[in-house]
Structure formats: structure tokens, C-alpha cells
Structure 1
Amino acid sequence: MDETLLRSLTPAVIGVLVRRGADFAAAEDAVQEALVEAVRAWPDRPPRDPRGWLVTVAWRRFLDSARADTTRRGREERVEAEPEPGPGRAVDDTLQLYFLCAHPSLTPASAVALTLRAVGGLTTRRIAQAYLVPEATMAQRISRARRTVASVRFDRPGDVATVLRVLYLIFNEGYSGDVDLVAEAIRLTRTLAAGFDHEEVSGLLALMLLHHARRPARTRADGSLVPLAEQDRGLWDTGLIAEGVDVLQAALARDRLGEYQAQAAVAALHADARTAEETDWVQIVEWYDELLGITDNPVARLNRAIALGEADGARAGLAALAELDPSLPRRTAAAAYLHERDGDPGTAARLYGDAARSAPSLPERDHLMRQAARINTRLRG
């Protein structure tokens, strides 16, 4: 059973049902039932046309449900007059489904959950496992999201920026258990890029590929974090780096710079450096300036301050950092790093300890505590 194939076909099949008269929630339910039937039937009787098989079975499930509900009699008569299910407009339907699931009226959490279920083909249980919440909680979130978009016209133009934000949120969630959200975000973004010619879609795909290429070097065997400067660059995936750079260069050549392209350019400069010492920090600062010209994002300002500290010295970085809100996540950790670079280990150790207490994850907290302990041990010696 090819689970990847099933999940890749899910959005196109939902799209066919919606275009033939089903509302989004009913179509999504029918397709989920068809997927369950496929898991049962395909190992013994694999179809020649998997997508056509899913469309046919899902359509029957939808009609069965419509017949069982007397309030839907009028719609049943309308949809039964439609042609038999066929190939349909798979690419267009899939793209519209991306836009529907990332509708601006949805909260980010709801848009992510609905995208993973309807476009990604994941079950509610697997999405709940990935986000470490009870299945009932995730089911409620998805149900509310489906009700929200129920009246949205399927052929209405969508906002690609919202779609990209949702995919970026999925990518940043990382991975948990058997649901690798990083890989899932890349798969979904590849699908979007294949059917939607937009430089920022390419920029986001390049950013994901370049970041994902460093994944094997980011943690040690015991699960502890490895800072970028200390990573074994021989573990980086050169194939993904080459692909990411190619995708980015093609996007930049269109001369319509966006925030994801600028972030990907920073990632490409890190990937291009054979050692941490060879990193072109001056160019990285310039790319952060470009990024801030597009979106005045506090996180981008934080990263620029760190890059400036590498390019022009720690004090320049600290001066830039002083302009930022003290409550900004990871600002204290950045200040600790720059104070250590500036030759002030006492302040650095104290700040590392402060940063550890507000760290967003256990691995990050442990890393910061080890940094504080390392400096304190040196000071006592």
C-alpha cells in the first residue's frame, strides 16, 4: 500500500466532489471513507487508475450520505444529474483546496489542521499525534474550520501569501512520532510549486530545502542541540542544498523579491560556507536589510543583530540588539552569545541562565543551561 500516493491524490479527489455539488465537509468525509476502503481493498486488487477509483468510491459514499438525509433531497437530484466521475481538473482543484484551507477567516492553528487533513491526507488522529493534543481536541478544531469555510465559493481566487504562511507554520513545527511535519511541509510546497508559478512559492520551497539539508547535523546522538557554528558540515545533504540553490536562483532571476526568497538567500550563504569561519556575514547582513525592507519583522531584526555582531564585531551586534523589545523570544540568548564574544563572560553566563528559564523547548533549555555551566566552570577555574 502506497500511503504517499493516497495522500497525494486526496486534494484532487476532494476537488472533484466539490465541483460536482458536494459541500466541502461532506466531500472531505466521503474521501476519508474512500481512503479507508482503499487501504482495505488495494493490497489484493490494486486499481489501474487509483485516482479514478477514489473518485468513484468517494462519490458513491457522498450519494449514500445524501440519500440518507432528507434535508438534502434537492441537492441529491442536482448532483445525480452530473456526469459520471472522471479525471476532472486535478491541478486546478488542488490549488483551490490549498487556498480554501488557508482561508483568512481561519485561525492559523485551524488553517494548519485543515490543510494537513484535506490537502495532506492525514487522519485526525495522526494530526493530533503530531501536535501532541488529544484527538477529540483536534477533531473539534477541524470541525470548526470546516464550518467556517463551508460557505466559501470553491472557485474564488485565493491569497497565496496566506497559503505560504500556513505551509511555513507546518514546516516550523518540526516533527513528532511517525508524522514528520518538516517532510510533509516540503511535500505540500513541492505540490504547490508544481502547479502554481509564483516566485515566493519557489522562495519558500528553497528555504525549506536549504534548512532541511542541515537537519542531520542539528542534534547529537543524545538529542542535544548543535549550534550552526559547531555542526559537522559533512553531514549536510548536498543534494538538497544544490536543489534549493537552483530553485532560489530561478526565483531571484524574476526580480520580484519577497520575504521567503530573502530568507532563503541567507540560508544559501550559510550552506555555501565550507566552515563557519568562511561565512559571508557581510552579505548576510545585506540580505537581512533587504528582508526588513519587505517586512519589519522583529525576528528578522534579531537575526540581523546577530549577523551584524559577526560582521562588524560583538558591540555592533549588541547596539542593534538594544533597540529590540526585551521580551522578544531568544533575545536574551542572543545577548548572552554577543556578550561572550565581547569578552564579558560573567554577563554572558547570567544571561544564558535567564534565557534557559524562558526557553520554548527542553532541548533548547538544556543547551542554554550547558552554555551557562561551561562559562561558570571556566570562571571558577
Structure 2
Amino acid sequence: MSVHSDAYAASTQPEVTARLTVYLVAVGAFALGMASYVTAGLIPMIQTAFTIPVEAAAQLVTAFTLAYGLGSPLIVAFLPGRYQRAGLLAALGLFVLANAASALATELSWLLALRALAGVGSGVYLAMGIAVCATLSPPAKRGKAIAIIMGGMASGTVLGVPLSLLLAERLGWASAFWLVAALGLSALAGLAWRLPKLPTAATIPLGRKLALLADGRVLAILTVSLLAAIGSLGMYTFIAPFLAEPEHGAIRSIAPYLWVWGLGGVAGSFLIGPLADRMRGPALTLAIMLCLTFALMSLPLAASMHPWLAVLPIALWGAVGWALQVPQNNELIRTREAQGDGNFAVALNESALYLGSAIGAAGGGLILLMGLPLSSLAVAAGTVGAVGALVQLTNMRRH
């Protein structure tokens, strides 16, 4: 009896360790979600504290996102395969230190540099965290593991950001960064204690890593992620002025609608996991892109009929927008697993999201400069989503 018990315990130990690692990485992703979006809410407080114009304070967001989108793939590309565990812990450590130091900053130049460091740590941590959890999890449960991590990030955005802003209103802007650092530190302590020794990956020359950009499947996946971000995150930038228009309900308080979008994102991130493990990734991505297109296209009609009807497409939009990256990252890891550069592919995918967000915001601004109605923003975003669905369908037929 004891022999069977010992054998069972030995067989389940790796699975328990993998599950614990996934949840600890998700805690860090929660802190990352807070850090990614809380700075925008802190701009008025930082502007007052540093006596600077709002456009200068807004560059703190730019520093974080540019460093996240551009710096993290470079570091992941140069990191040797044998340092996966150390790289993951170092990235989270950099993130914690940068946020703690941000709370102590007294000059804008220092704060800008520290937000950039936090952005680099965030990008490297998320890319490596997803890759590590995919390595530790059985293939049949990889989708669920990635979904938990993305759900942690979505929860940090939806739940953590309002909490940190409430804290900042009472204790000052620095308290928000202290909270982010404390959450990141708790994840770091847990991972340093429980993260197992990882398989030593072969050292891959940089030239071979960059060769993945010649992989047609990888480029198609990255293109779909880019187009989805242009449509989804680009439209999110203008959701407040869109709903403030008289023909869309003349909404005065945007907060309930942002909560609906965010809660939809949390639900979509967690619920997509089982589907990602049961359905073919490309088919699931196509279905998500079609739902995203429908949600964005139907938003003007729903809002014009009644303001509260707008919550239906907004909830669907948030759910599928956040859920998309689960099958996308899973497919990237599966496609590049044999080459050993799945973590670099995931880092490039995260960069595509941030680049898409910037392009979407710029494109929306151009539409407004042309004097087109605000409803055209949703139509344009939905059209970009439709193009992404077409790219995905073409990729499925080709491969």
C-alpha cells in the first residue's frame, strides 16, 4: 500500500509544482497589469507633485510602454537558454526594484528612467513566465496555464488599478507604486522558494533566433495579434469620447463601461483556457477575431438604441480581446518548441500588442482630425478586426 502511495505521490509532484508555479507567475502578472495602467491615472497627481505640464507627465506612460514593447524582446533574444530560471527571477526583481524606486523618485528624469526599467522587467517577466509555465505544464494543460497568467494580468488591470488609485488618493501617488512593488515582491519570494530547476535549453545563436521572423506561421500569428491590438486597444483609447456623443447616449461617467470591459476581459482570460486545450489554436483564434469584429461593428448601433445596450458588445469586446493572447501564445510556443525559441516568439507577440495599441491610438486621432464622426472609429476598428480574421483564415488554409 505504501509503495503505491509513494509512486502516486512521485507522479503527481511535478504536476503540483507546475500548478503552484503558474499561480505564482499569475500573482506577478497581476502586479504587472497594475503597473501597466496605473500611471495614466496618477498623471494629475504627479503633475501637481513635480510641478510639470500634463504632456510631460504623460511621457511616463510612453517610457513604460516603449521599453516594454522594444526592450523586452532584445533581452529575451540575448538571454542564454541555461539561464531561464535566473532570467525570470531577475526580470521580476528588476520590476520590483524599479517600482519601489519610482515611489522614492523626486525628479521627473529619474522617474522616466525608472518607468522604462519597470517596462523592460515587465515584458521580460511575462514572456519568460508564459514560456516557463508552458514548459512545466503537460501539453494538454498549457492553454489553461497561459489563461491563468493572462487572467492574473487582466485582474490586475480591472481590480488592482482602481484599488491602487484609491490608495493614491488617500496616501499620495507614491503609495500606488509601493503597492505594485509589494505584490511583485510576494510573487518573487514565492518563485524563488518554489520554482523548480528548469530543463537546460540549448544555447541558440542570435542569428538563429532572428530566423523565426522568416517563419511564415510566426509572422501570421504576430500579424493577427498586431491587427487585433490596433482594433481593440485603439478603440479603447477613444471609448470615453465615443460614449459621450449625444447619438451614443451622452454618457457622463465612463467608469461603469470600463468596468464591464475589464470584467469581460477577466472572464474571457480564464474561460478561454479549457477551450484552448480542446480546440485547435488557429480555429479558436479565427472564432475570437470574428467575435471581436462583430462586437466593435455593433457598438455604434447598440449605443444609439440605448446607452445600457452598449454594455453587451463592450463585454464581448473585452472578453475576446483579452482571451485572444491565450491561443496565440500557445500556438507560438507549439510552433517554435522544436527550435527552442518559444520565449522569444512570445516576447515578440507582446511587442506586437503594444505596437498595435500605439498605431490604433494614432489612427483614431487621424480619423478625428479628418472630421469624421466618432462612430467611424468603431467601424474602422471592426474593419481592422475583419482584416485580421481574413489573415488568420488565409494562414489556416496555407498551413
Q: Of Structure 1 and Structure 2, which has the larger fraction of its residues in helix?
A: 2
For CA contacts below 8 A with separation 6 or more, give which structure has more relative contact order: 2
- Normalised TM-score (structure 1): 0.31
Q: Please say which structure displays the higher CA radius of gyration.
A: 1
